[in-house]
Amino acid sequence: MYQILGITSVSILPIKSLDDLSVTVLWGFLEALASALCMNIYVVGLNQLFDIEIDKVNKPTLPLASGEFSVATGVLLVVAFLVMSISIGIRSKSAPLICALLLSFLLGSAYSIDVPLLRWKQHPFLAAFCILVVRAVLVQLAFFTHMQQHVLKRPFTPTRSVVFATLFMCCFSAVIALFKDIPDVDGDRDFGIQSLSVRLGQHKVRTCRFNFKSLMSTNCAKLILIIMLQVYRLCINILMTAYTAAILVGASSTNLYQKIITVSDRSEQFDIANKACITPFYMFIWKLFYAEYFLIPFV
């Protein structure tokens, strides 16, 4: 979903007037969107293929973890969508688009594949680097350049909107990269995934399992709660900083003030000890992420 909104929003930025709209522009946009979606399915599917045992703990409803899809089916789908993505990119003859797809392929593979020197998701900074580059930089700069340079045949000229979008989405992507690990401490720790939540507590918590029902019943569980709370507060601080910076860029925007109040209110209501609160708050962050893409063309 975020890729559809992100690519659509960024693709609009180089369009200066209605005169720019044509079948060629629409086709160039659809090539970018289709190839990016296929590559995203490859990256997500590859991650699930190498995380089956972890997902049985953290996300047991996923197709491979639940047994809905066999491993063979998963491999077939992943390879098929990779081939489709690269094929669309090559057919487009767009250098920015091809570079974006290849970089997404390399980083997505390095993030998940469990071989020496790869499996970057085991290292928090490398994992965050992969997420930031793809979600915050590639989606903005590569697809903007594709539309401006390849489709509209204009020299690459970064606009205020695309620069702001890139910096702002860096903050949002960092929050998403951090927050997604909060409910996954149990499975990540058991299978050696050194997320920030795990690393903060690995010197204190080594043998206990994460159990929300008995969260406050043991000292070990209390330590995990503290660790999760530290990561959560870091995420909120990053979000508040990003929106404050956005207000300075567009001081007249009442919408941004409303978002700060909304984030603050939701963070006050959030109960880190209640697992039922974590997923809705994480989805609330994604909703904000989506909302920003609606606003970027108006910056």
Instruction: State the pLDDT confidence band at 269, using cuts at 50, 70 and 90.
Output: low
139 CB contacts (<8 Å, ≥6 apart)? 3, 6, 7, 10, 36, 169
State mean pLDDT over 289-297.
70
Is the separation of the CB atoms in 105 and 78 below 8 Å? no
- How confident is the model at residue 50, as a pLDDT? 92
Say whether 274 sits in a helix, a strand or coil. coil
CATH of domain 1-158: 1.10.357.140
pLDDT (tens digit per residue) in 222-234: 544 554 555 556 6
219-249 vs 254-269: helix crossing angle, rounded to 10: 170
207 CB contacts (<8 Å, ≥6 apart)? 220
User: CA-to-CA distance for 212 and 174, rounded, in angstroms?
Assistant: 26
User: ∠ at Cα 260 (256, 265), nearest 5°?
Assistant: 145
pLDDT (tens digit per residue) in 19-76: 898 999 999 999 999 999 999 999 999 999 999 988 888 788 899 989 999 999 999 9
**Boundaries of CATH 1.10.357.140 in the chain?**
1-158
pLDDT (tens digit per residue) in 152-187: 999 988 888 888 878 877 777 777 776 665 555 554
Single-letter code of the amino acid located at 41: I
* Cα–Cα separations (whole angstroms), residue 242 to 6, 181, 239, 292: 18, 21, 5, 12
